[in-house]
Amino acid sequence: MGVSPAAAPIRRPRRHAGHTAGVARSRKVDDGPDVFCRIVAGDLPAPVVHSDERTMSFLDHRPLFAGHVLLVPREHVGTLSELPPSDVDHYFRVAQRLEVAVERAMASDGSLVLVNNRVSQSVPHLHLHVIPRRYRDGLRFWLGPRRPYASAEEAQSVAGRIREALDLSGLADRSR
Winning range, highest mean pLDDT, from 8-12, 17-21, 101-105, 141-145: 101-105
CB 127 within 8 A of CB 36: yes
Entry pTM: 0.75
Handedness of CA 35, 95, 117, 67 (dihedral sign): negative
- The per-residue pLDDT for range 76-119, each reduced to its tens digit, is 999 999 999 999 999 999 999 999 999 999 999 999 999 988 88
CB contact set of 64 (below 8 Å; sequence gap of 6+): 131, 139
Single out the residue of 150, 35, 50, 139 nearest to residue 94, CA to CA: 50
Distances (CA, A) of 29 to 32, 33, 34, 75, 133: 5, 6, 6, 13, 32
- Give the least confident one: 50-54, 65-69, 143-147, 162-166: 143-147
Question: Exposed, middle or buried, 115 (CB in 10 Å: 0-12/13-18/19+)?
Answer: middle
Single out the residue of 65, 72, 86 nearest to residue 40, CA to CA: 72
In the chain, the domains with their CATH numbers are: 29-137 (3.30.428.10)
- Distance, in Å, from the CA atom of 172 to the CA atom of 165, rounded to the nearest integer, reads 19
